Structure 1
Amino acid sequence: MAGQRGRDVLIKLSDGQEPETFETLAGIRTSEFELNQRAVDATSADSPQGWRELLAGAGVKSMRVRGRGLFKDSASDARMQAIFFAGAIERWELIVPGLGQFTGAFQIAQLSYSGTHDGEAMFAVDLQSAGELSFGAAS
Structure 2
Amino acid sequence: MTAQAGRDLLLKLDLNGTASFQTVAGLRARRIAFNASLVDITNADSAGHWRELLENAGTRAASLSGSGLFRDQASDAAVRSLFFEGSVRPWRVIVPDFGTLEGPFQVTALEYAGRHDGEVTYELALESAGELGFTAD
The bucket for the TM-score relative to the shorter chain is 0.7 to 0.9
1:11–1:27 Cα change, 3 Å: closer
Q: CA RMSD in A?
A: 1.9
Matched, 1:72 2:71: yes
- Structure 1 segment 2-13 matched on structure 2, within 5 A: 2-13=2-13
% identity of equivalent residues: 45
- Structure 1 segment 1-139 matched on structure 2, within 5 A: 1-16=1-16, 18=18, 20-138=19-137
Code of the residue aligned with 2:6 in structure 1: it is: G
Once residues 97 and 72 of structure 1 are traced to their aligned partners in structure 2, the CA distance between those partners, rounded to angstroms, is 18
The offset of 1:95, in angstroms, is 1.7
Answer 1 or 2: which has greater strand percent: 2
User: Structure 2: any 5+ residue segments left out of the alignment?
Assistant: none
The offset of 1:113, in angstroms, is 1.4
User: Structure 1: any 5+ residue segments left out of the alignment?
Assistant: none
Deviations along 1:75-125, whole A, 9 cap, x unmatched? 221111111111111110012223321111111111111234554322111
Once residues 73 and 10 of structure 2 are traced to their aligned partners in structure 1, the CA distance between those partners, rounded to angstroms, is 20
SS in 1 for 2:56: coil
Once residues 81 and 122 of structure 1 are traced to their aligned partners in structure 2, the CA distance between those partners, rounded to angstroms, is 13
Once residues 73 and 98 of structure 2 are traced to their aligned partners in structure 1, the CA distance between those partners, rounded to angstroms, is 32
Q: How many residues align?
A: 137
Once residues 94 and 71 of structure 1 are traced to their aligned partners in structure 2, the CA distance between those partners, rounded to angstroms, is 15
The offset of 1:16, in angstroms, is 2.5
TM-score after normalising by structure 2: 0.87
